[in-house]
Structure 1
Amino acid sequence: MSDRDFLLSFGRFKNEFLRQAGLEKNQYGVLDAFEKWLRMYHNNNVDENDKVPPSGIYLDVHKDREVLLNEICRRVEQKLLQRGIVVKCISAARWGKARSSALCLVLPGFQDVFYRLCFTQPRKGIYSGRKILMSELVLDGHKKSLFLPLLNYHSEMERRLDFRLERESLHMEQAGRYRFKICFPVEQEKIPASKLEEIARVVARFIIVSSEYLEKVNAAQIG
């Protein structure tokens, strides 16, 4: 097994362990620290040409779904770490989605605010019936404290991202789902591995930009 395959397998085993063990959040520390050390050790001890998969490699959206999500999360974590931002990548089981392959990136200081990465196929809206890879900032339960204040910066965030920033439908927001999301249509059954770097770059930028405004809104309320 190659180092890269080992790291991807470790991510899957870690998520499954967390799902089954039922640990409290304050018990994740050593495991998270070990994973970050393992990834950094790997990055410092591989050839530069091995860090980006060859463009000729394709990953099946159905068979390799968890591998795709883990690989994107790994790349996002690395890009954020370069900016001094440390996030925790955990499975959606932490929020009661035991059968979901979705992964959640959690910022320090925000216990129930997180970024969710998943594959989905909306039934309504502009992506109706289409398969998409989606990253969303989940703000459920924070309508007045975070979501509504962030709406004031919606256009500004979108301009800085240079990428369409979606909201939930009015019906879903009325039901309590308050989210901002970016979507990548998956038109074919297989995704070239070379595309993962581009997706990770946009997702990392989404987290960097939106987290700046989260901090800004928080500071305004505390002040």
Structure 2
Amino acid sequence: MTEREFLIQFSHFKQEFLDTSRRPANKPKGNRKKVLENFERWLQLRAKMEKAEMTFSDFLNNVVLVAGKILENNDIAISCPAPVFKESKRCISIFKNSTVFYRIGRVRPRRGFNKGQNILVIELVMDGHKKSVFLPLLEMKEEIEERLGEKLLRELPRTESAGHYRVKTFLPYHLVESNDVQLVARDLADFILATLPCLEKLGLSRNP
């Protein structure tokens, strides 16, 4: 968050607090320090209420919305079809070929370091496009990783042998628990920005 964004948000919260405080039952008493302490407690209570009200589905919707605005600033238009898995995943369409798409969601691995734990996954789905998209994209893997600043992960061999071809990255689930929409949206947008040029080199055309 930039200083300007912080000041705008602070001003908004301050006005909301003052509007609440003007009610006789809520009017703060005491010196400036006491008023600031009341304001701090009010902000903490407000944050707890927002966290309690937001479902994981709401979180994903907000992430896609913010990521869409970031991508729009880079002249990239996205669409998010009605989710098949309403609570756990969102698909993001950019290409005319609707069978190549991005996806963000929650998974709980059965094996490995994160066994039994919820984690966030951002992935590029290329099922059924092994020779035309997946294998050529792997040849550009280092280029993508350099842009992204981290390693791309693949599915297990037995999953790929069933025709499921994806590259992905994981994010810790505490970002959901802390309602960090901005950071997750930035990572989603970065993932798309890192992979999109390579996909366009392979001949995939964007939606108008």
TM-score norm. by structure 2 comes to: 0.70
Identity of aligned residues (%): 32
What is the alpha-carbon distance in structure 1 between the residues aligned to residue 97 and residue 113 of structure 2?
Answer: 31
User: 2:147 matched to which residue of 1?
Assistant: 160
Q: Is the 8 A contact 2:95 2:101 kept in 1?
A: no
Structure 1 position 209 matched with structure 2 position 197: no
Question: For residue 191 of structure 1, what is the amino acid of its counterpart?
Answer: E
Deviations 1:58-82 (A, max 9, x none): 6369x61101100100111000001
Larger Rg over CA atoms: 2
User: 1:91 matched to which residue of 2?
Assistant: 82
Structure 1 position 108 matched with structure 2 position 95: yes
Question: For residue 133 of structure 1, what is the amino acid of its counterpart?
Answer: L
User: 2:28 matched to which residue of 1?
Assistant: none
Q: Is the 8 A contact 2:56 2:87 kept in 1?
A: no
User: 1:192 matched to which residue of 2?
Assistant: 178
User: 1:57 matched to which residue of 2?
Assistant: 47
What is the alpha-carbon distance in structure 1 between the residues aligned to residue 203 and residue 47 of structure 2?
Answer: 43
Deviations 1:157-214 (A, max 9, x none): 11210123211111111111100111112158x6223x22111111101111111100
What is the alpha-carbon distance in structure 2 between the residues aligned to residue 177 and residue 60 of structure 1?
Answer: 36
In 2 relative to 1, CA 134–57 (structure 1 residues): closer, same or farther, beyond 3 Å? Answer: farther
What is the alpha-carbon distance in structure 2 between the residues aligned to residue 125 and residue 140 of structure 1?
Answer: 23
Q: Is the 8 A contact 2:57 2:87 kept in 1?
A: no
Q: Secondary structure of 1:89's partner?
A: coil
User: 2:66 matched to which residue of 1?
Assistant: 75
Q: Is the 8 A contact 1:104 1:114 kept in 2?
A: yes
Question: For residue 172 of structure 2, what is the amino acid of its counterpart?
Answer: P
Cα root mean square deviation, aligned: 2.8
What is the alpha-carbon distance in structure 1 between the residues aligned to residue 197 and residue 52 of structure 2?
Answer: 35
- Give the length in aligned residue pairs: 165
In 2 relative to 1, CA 127–91 (structure 1 residues): closer, same or farther, beyond 3 Å? Answer: farther
User: 2:39 matched to which residue of 1?
Assistant: none
Unmatched tracts of structure 2, length 5 or more:
1-6, 14-42
What is the alpha-carbon distance in structure 2 between the residues aligned to residue 148 and residue 203 of structure 1?
Answer: 22
Question: For residue 77 of structure 2, what is the amino acid of its counterpart?
Answer: V
What is the alpha-carbon distance in structure 1 between the residues aligned to residue 106 and residue 75 of structure 2?
Answer: 28
Structure 1 position 136 matched with structure 2 position 123: yes
What is the alpha-carbon distance in structure 1 between the residues aligned to residue 126 and residue 112 of structure 2?
Answer: 20
Q: 2:163 aligns with which of 154, 168, 176?
A: 176
Question: For residue 177 of structure 2, what is the amino acid of its counterpart?
Answer: I
Q: Secondary structure of 2:80's partner?
A: strand
Question: For residue 140 of structure 1, what is the amino acid of its counterpart?
Answer: D
